[in-house]
Amino acid sequence: MDLRFTPEEIAFRNEVRGFFRAALPPDIRRKMVDGRHLAKADIVRWQRILNEKGWAVPHWPREWGGTGWTPIQHYIFQEEMQQAPAPQPLAFGVNMVGPVIIAFGNDAQKERYLPRIRNIDDWWCQGFSEPGSGSDLASLKTSAKRVGDSYIVNGQKTWTTLAQHADMIFCLVRTDPTVKKQEGISFLLIDMKSPGVTVRPIVTMDGGAEVNEVFFDEVKVPAANLVGEENKGWDYAKYLLGNERTGIARVGVSKERIRRLKELAALEPAGGGARMIDDQRFREKIAAVEIELKALEMTQLRVVSAERHGRSKKPDPASSILKIKGSEIQQTISELLMEVVGPYALPDQPDLDGSNEPPIGPDYAGPLAPTYFNWRKISIYGGSNEIQRNIVAKAILGL
């Protein structure tokens, strides 16, 4: 299997890299390098720059703003974006509800929502998980009863990321409680400004408030906001989750974080003493994670190469390996970054604006503890690592 890039692909990489260097606003790049909290305005500003370039939704069909790139070009684009480092376009719109609307929505829904998703005129959030319905999502209880030309929605969603910013939420709701649980679920688009919608923040262990509870109390939703067929929402959800797991290895993110790790380890300590990079044991730890990352990158390139040559017609079980190792590597890097700054990484929890940076020590130390705590979730979302190991055992090892 040839994993080398062609001259045309190398030229494409240079084009993408040059664009990120020229177009990414310096203040946003600085926040990304430092691991600091991005404001809603930062994400909106950057996605609109990408949209103007025609790169906000490269994986969509051309008729809705896609680029028609090859799998290799998509891989290169993602890696360069992560290494720039630049924010990803808002995933809830671009990678989740957008593809569902393209695949299953009607023409009116496509014409209304897709241009607004590309330009982030609407901020979307995801209404799937509920108290008691996380891993067993099909057991969800939020109900939607058809009354004339509307649905009346009652229930609760939880762990709803960035719902405090959202204009719209795509929700799984139970429309038929009398059938098998997977067969009675529908996919609704709900305006977050509707009467009866309440958002309440959940303060996480890193001191931030990026996740929320969302309550629906007799919320009236136009029946025109039903995507596809009633009671077919479980099929659409499975389709969406396949898109959610795209690029979950985040090789580019890990490369950029290792680069940052080496920069910080080479600095003279604020309180004096030896640099971390001069410690042989610490250098061995960096080398070990770099070796793991190179192996992960080779695995991801094999998956992409199979797509390029048309040998991949369905989800590759190797993507489960990418998820497992990618999340473990990211968490290891966050641990090494904490080790570099030592006690200066202690969290402070001053407010609920989504940030959590201590008031003492060097500026670069502030975001590292919140990132460490936040990245504990990487091995859970997108399918927990335990579930991914089951997939590997069945689909690859035949156990």
Supply the pLDDT for residue 137: 86
For the segment(s) 245-395, the CATH number from 3.40.50.920, 1.20.140.10, 2.60.120.260, 3.10.28.10 is 1.20.140.10
For the stretch 65-116, pLDDT in tens is 999 999 899 999 999 999 999 999 999 999 999 999 999 999 999 999 999 9
List 244, 256, 297, 357, catalytic entry: 244
**Count of all residues that appear for the chain in the document:** 399
- The yes-or-no answer to whether 7-89 and 245-395 have a common fold is no
The full DSSP string for 145-206 is: EEETTEEEEEEEE-S-TTGGG-SEEEEEEES-TTS-GGGGEEEEEEETTSTTEEEEEE--TT
> Residue 82, Cα to own-chain centre: how many angstroms?
12
Domain boundaries, the chain: 7-89, 124-231, 245-395
The full DSSP string for 276-320 is: GGG-HHHHHHHHHHHHHHHHHHHHHHHHHHHHHTT--SS--THHH
The answer to whether 239 touches 227, Cβ cutoff 8 Å, is: no
Contacts of 281 (CB under 8 A, 6+ apart): none
Q: What is the CATH number of domain 7-89?
A: 1.10.540.10
| Residue 244 known to be catalytic | yes
Superfamily of domain 124-231: Butyryl-CoA Dehydrogenase, subunit A, domain 2 (2.40.110.10)
For the stretch 162-220, pLDDT in tens is 999 999 999 999 999 999 999 999 999 999 999 999 999 998 876 778 899 999 999 99
The answer to whether 42 touches 31, Cβ cutoff 8 Å, is: yes
pLDDT of 12 higher than 70? yes
Average pLDDT of 325-338? 95
pLDDT of 354 higher than 90? no
Supply the pLDDT for residue 352: 45
Alpha helices, DSSP H only, in the chain?
A: 7-23, 26-34, 40-53, 71-83, 91, 98-104, 107-118, 233-244, 251-265, 280-308, 318-341, 368-374, 385-395
Higher pLDDT, 62 or 314: 62
> Residue 52, Cα to own-chain centre: how many angstroms?
22
Supply the pLDDT for residue 229: 97
Supply the pLDDT for residue 242: 64
The answer to whether 2 touches 305, Cβ cutoff 8 Å, is: yes
Supply the pLDDT for residue 289: 97
Contacts of 121 (CB under 8 A, 6+ apart): 115
Instruction: Name the band, by pLDDT with cuts 50, 70 and 90, for residue 55.
Output: very high
SS3 352: coil
- Strands 211-222 and 150-157, by their bridges, are antiparallel
pLDDT of 347 higher than 70? no
Structure tokens at 120: 């982030």
Q: Provide the whole-model pTM.
A: 0.87
